[in-house]
Structure 1
Amino acid sequence: MESIPSSGPLTEIMNEEIIYQNPLLFLKIWELGYDTPQFGPPAHWGWHSHMQVEFLLLMEGQLGVQTQHEYTVMSQGDIMVFGSFQPHRTYKYSPELLRQIVFQIDLKQHFDLSTMPYLHRFSELTHPLEAFNALFRSNADVKQMAYALIMQIYEESQSRKIGYELAIGAAIKNLLLLLLRNDNRDFSSLTEDIGISRVRPALDYIDKHLHERITVEDVCSILNLSYHYFIKYFKKVMGISFVDYVNYKRIKKAERLLLTGDLSIMDVSYEVGILNMAQFYKLFKRHNQCSPKEFKQRMRSQSALIPLLAQAD
């Protein structure tokens, strides 16, 4: 995988909206193929970005890739990652057949309370994910293992055999673990274990009071910290702001209520402490790219397919 420093300013960037193949897995993965002889940068070589992290795998051919910081030519077996909202653009680099796998995922949705302490290691707020591309270039074993895990996710998403969600979830966790254990970035300024222990009372308070109004001042009084120190410290430890974390927990609880109960959408909103319906819809769509009603309908249709898939097996 050749890498050349990029140059030139960014022009207009298209913000792409991703529609998930399974709303509960928060991902989209598919194969792209180009067998035309035309190659080279198109006349209008546009930039795009999206909230989801993107992994790009090259199965055949060569692909030119440009980001804000570098220009790369990918070859068969190569893998690249683009962080959340990182502008990038690609083109067919050579005349032979081009086949690639595009894997877009909202990584933060795959962290639960037990793994949340590692979220900051994958947060664009603190440590851009583009740094992992240097790891893929320098460590062939890591690149091959990451490639195999993403291919496994793709194959499971295509087969949709019963339990494919479990297989995909496990592969995603293994991918995160692979990157975490081979991450050579300097995190010496962070003391994760001490930090998590210190904010643990705040996390517990949030879980117990999701149905109520939660303020920074309430949590500051529990931890005996000043307002400004707490919001900076929380973001440093968790890799996400206090407000975004609370909203994340509210929406995750709302998803469970929508899937497991018969509450109205308004009642669900109240149960998770959001009394403004417009705000609830806005937050839910930000996390799921669909409304609460669409989410419930999609998941009911997904559930209806499970018996048919089981019979097919």
Structure 2
Amino acid sequence: MPNAIDTHADAVNEKVVYQNPLLFLKVWELEGVERVRRATDAWHWHYHKEVEFLAIFEGGLEVQTMTSLTTLGPGDVMVIGSSRPHRTWSLNGKPARYLVFQVDLVRHFDQSILPYLHHFSELTSPLEDLNYIFEASPAARNEAHALISEIYDETYRGKTGYEIAVSASIKRLLLLLLRGDDRGVLRGTEEAGIARMRPVLDYVESRLGEKIAVDDVRRLLGMSYHHFIKTFKRTMGIPFVDYVNYNRIKKAERLLLTTDLSIMEVSFEVGIWNMAQFYKLFKRHNQHSPKEFRQRMRN
């Protein structure tokens, strides 16, 4: 085991390369002693913006986060929140076989489930606090293990429609966490708050190709500028500007995949008239330029 006094001050910010840029995930299997670092080796902290799930098949794994040291065995599952420093090593230096599933959960919140985004924002509690669900409920643990396995199998088989299957499994995983949270770790917004914001959400969706000003939307709710900014973030779990940009980029992705519009035309269609800004926002969300995204998906 690494030195107990080690800190995460030198943690490495790991860039996750997605296997499919539309699914925003990476999933793979680790197996064998040669793939698992021994406790005597130097093992540095690392983190990434993606949420990470671990599903153990054989052997044992120790996982250290900023707040806990957990020993996992066959059948166990663990979740590690976004940008949470962590490190792992095999138990007693013996071989282990397990799945690592890293996913940008935010990208899987479409309009139908966007009201639940705030539950998973980690504004007040890291998702790591949800591991009690797997520890307390064998049924929840088994279901989560099966879902992660399904995501892995579908991704590597790559059959027609696997994207639909993977997306569905991710949503089932979100539902499992949401309904299994008896302690209220995922304290989201009330339905009344979302209902109040509905005119704003509809306004944004219908005007993505236009300039969207805070002054225009705050009047829909009869709020002052600062009151609206605070209320929107508290309700949706994301700043208003980020929400608008997120939806602009999602529309841009669809246009790049389904039309022959030039990149400049796509940028204008989603209401971004500064090409430098469009490239910057697109790459922030996809880790690829618009041209790379289109080529990669069409190939």
1:55 maps to which residue? 53
Under a length normalisation based on structure 1, what TM-score does the superposition of the two structures give? 0.89
Deviation of the 1:10 alpha carbon: 2.1
User: Would the alpha carbon gap of residues 118 and 104 (structure 1) be closer, same or farther in structure 2, given more than 3 Å must change?
Assistant: same
Aligned to 1:134: 132
Partner of 1:310: none
- Once the 2 structures are TM-superposed, how far is the Cα of residue 179 of structure 1 from its aligned partner? 1.2
The answer to whether residue 294 in structure 2 is matched with residue 299 in structure 1 is no
Q: What does residue 165 of structure 2 align with?
A: 167
Name 2:239's counterpart in structure 1.
241
Q: Report what 1:200 is aligned to.
A: 198
Residue of structure 2 aligned with 1:88, choices 86, 89, 104: 86
1:131-171 C-alpha deviation (Å, 9 max, x unpaired): 11111111111011000011011111111112211211111
Q: TM-score, normalised by structure 2?
A: 0.93
For 1:190 and 1:15, the matched residues in 2 are separated by: 28
Partners of 2:5 and 2:18 lie apart in 1 by 33
Contact in 2 for aligned 1:254/1:268 (Cα 8 Å):
yes
Quick one: which of 71, 74, 77 aligns to 1:76?
74
Q: Secondary structure at the match of 2:298?
A: helix
CA 1:244–1:82: 2 relative to 1, 3 Å? same
**Percent identical:** 56
Whole-Å separation in 1 of the counterparts to 2:230 and 2:14: 30
Q: How does 1:20-169 map to 2 (within 5 A)?
A: 20-36=18-34, 40-169=38-167
C-alpha displacement at 1:35, in angstroms?
Answer: 2.3
What is the match of residue 281 of structure 1?
Answer: 279
Aligned residue pairs, count:
296
SS at match of 1:118: helix
**Structure 1: 5+ residue runs without aligned partners?**
1-5, 302-313
Q: Aligned equivalents of 1:244 and 1:48: distance in 2?
A: 26
CA distance in 2, matches of 1:11, 1:273: 40
SS for the counterpart of 2:152 is: helix
> Kindly tell me: are residues 275 and 163 of structure 1, through their superposed partners in 2, closer, same or farther at Cα, counting changes over 3 Å?
same
Which residue of 215, 218, 229 corresponds with 2:216?
A: 218
Q: Check the 8 A contact 1:41/1:92 in 2, yes or no.
A: yes
Which amino acid is the alignment partner of residue 128 of structure 2? E
Sort the Cα spacing of 1:155 and 1:191 in 2 relative to 1 into closer, same or farther, 3 A: closer
Q: 1:20 to 1:196 in 2, by over 3 A?
A: same
Whether the aligned pair in 1 keeps the contact of 2:44 and 2:87 (CA below 8 Å) is: yes
Report if the CA contact (8 A) 1:30-1:102 is conserved: yes
Distance 2:35 2:106 in 1: 39
Alpha-carbon distance, 1:70 to partner: 0.7
Corresponding residue number in structure 2 for 1:227: 225
Distance 2:220 2:86 in 1: 43
SS in 1 for 2:282: helix
* Separation (CA, whole Å) in 2 of partners of 1:28 and 1:196: 32
Contact 2:59 2:97 in 1 (8 A): yes
> What's the offset of the Cα at 1:186?
2.9
